[in-house]
Structure 1
Amino acid sequence: MVHGLGFASALGELGLKGAMLLRGLVGFNVGVEIGQLVFVAVFLPAQMWLARGRGAPLIPRIASLTVAVIGTYWLVERIFIG
């Protein structure tokens, strides 16, 4: 049994080798890139629209706080729960 975190551990547990391992890794990476493009396509226009309003100077602070809260939650979850 492979112990660890992430996608590589999952592939190790499946016993994939050779071309199947390569296909799994490439498919995963392509999926991640597509996900990033979708995120930018959805949130960039929204951010540009919000930047035109009176609250525009607060957007970076709110975004940073949101990312910090989510990151802290994930850190606590991994340390104490998982």
Structure 2
Amino acid sequence: MTAISSFSVGGVTVIIALSSMGLPIALAGVLITVEPLIDMGRTALNVNGSMLSGKITSRMLGTFNKGIYSDKDAVVEQTEA
């Protein structure tokens, strides 16, 4: 249900934005089909920022292990918080 409602909210938002700028509403179809690609880029940027902040924090705290970080065969174990 959440996925369905998120699609409709995005569509309505695009239509409102286009009509307020005086652009044709038919352009909404094009924008909605391109949106997943744009969203993937935003997600990749967010993940990259999270990874970078974790690395910087571990270096500042002195807990960064360059050997494990550079080891291509290292396995990250899942731990419970």
Asked whether the two chains share a fold, i.e. TM above 0.5, the reply is no
For CA contacts below 8 A with separation 6 or more, give which structure has more relative contact order: 2
What is the TM-score when the length of structure 1 is the normalising length? 0.39
Structure (1/2) with the larger helix percentage? 1
TM-score by length of 2: 0.39
